[in-house]
Chains A and B, each alone.
Chain A
Amino acid sequence: MATEAAGGSGFAIHPMDQFIVRPLFGDGPIQWYTVTNVTLWLALAVVCVVLVMVFGTSRRAIIPSRSQSVAEMIYGFVHNMVEEVTGHEGVKYFPYVMTVFLFILFANLLGLIPMSFTTTSSLAVTITLALLVFFGITILGLVRKGPAFLAMFWVTSAPLALRPILAVIEVISYFVRPVSHSIRLAGNLMAGHAVIKVFAGFASMAILSPIAVGAVTAIYGLELLVAVVQAYVFTILTCVYLKDAVGDAHH
Chain B
Amino acid sequence: MATVVDDVADAAAGHAAPAGGMPQLDVTNWPNQIFWLLVALVAIYLVLTRVALPRIGAVLAERRSTITNDLLAAEELKQKALDAEKAYNAALAKAREDAAKIVAEAKASIQADLDAATAKADAEIAARSAESERRIAEIRDNALASVTEVAKDTTGALVAALGGQADQAAVETAVAERMKG
Contacts and interface: CB of A to CB of B under 8 A. Distances in A.
Contact of B17 (A30, A50, A132): A30
A91 to B, nearest CB: 11
A99 B10 CA distance: 38
Interface stretch (A35-43, A162-170, A202-210, A223-231): A35-43
Interface residues of A, number: 58
A32 interface: yes
A172 interface: no
A184 B142 CA distance: 147
Contact of A30 (B32, B44, B52): B32
Interface in A184-229: 186, 190, 194, 198
Give the one of A61, A64, A124, A186 with max B CB within 10 A.
A124
Interface in B4-35: 4, 7-8, 10-11, 15-18, 22-35
B contact residues, range: 35 or more
Contact of B22 (A19, A32, A119): A19
Contacts of B15: 17, 20, 22
Contacts of B7: 12-16
A60 B53 contact: no
Interface string A64-96: 100010011001100000000000000000111
Interface string A28-65: 00111110101100110110011001100100111010
A32 B66 CA distance: 50
A7 to B, nearest CB: 17
Given A16-B23, A33-B32, A21 B17 contact: yes
A238 interface: no
Given A12-B7, A19-B23, A19-B24, A30 B48 contact: no
Given A20-B17, A20-B18, A30-B17, A102 B48 contact: yes
A30 B17 CA distance: 9
A96 B34 contact: no
A21 B32 contact: yes
Contact of B33 (A16, A21, A61, A98): A21
A27 B51 CA distance: 38
Given A71-B56, A124-B24, A54 B40 contact: no
Interface stretch (B57-65, B119-127, B145-153): B57-65
B34 A45 contact: no
Contact of B47 (A39, A49, A76): A49
B160 interface: no
B76 to A, nearest CB: 20
B36 to A, nearest CB: 5
A112 to B, nearest CB: 18
B49 interface: yes
List the 9 closest pairs (A to B, CB-CB), nearest first.
A53-B52, A124-B33, A32-B31, A42-B40, A124-B30, A14-B11, A19-B23, A16-B8, A123-B24
Interface of A: 12-17, 19-22, 27, 30-34, 36, 38-39, 42-43, 45-46, 49-50, 53-54, 57, 60-62, 64, 68, 71-72, 75-76, 94-96, 98-100, 102-103, 119, 121-125, 128-129, 132, 186, 190, 194, 198
24 contacts: A15-B4, A15-B7, A16-B22, A21-B29, A30-B17, A32-B31, A34-B32, A36-B29, A36-B32, A36-B36, A38-B32, A49-B44, A53-B53, A60-B55, A60-B59, A72-B59, A95-B45, A122-B33, A124-B37, A128-B33, A128-B38, A129-B37, A132-B41, A190-B22
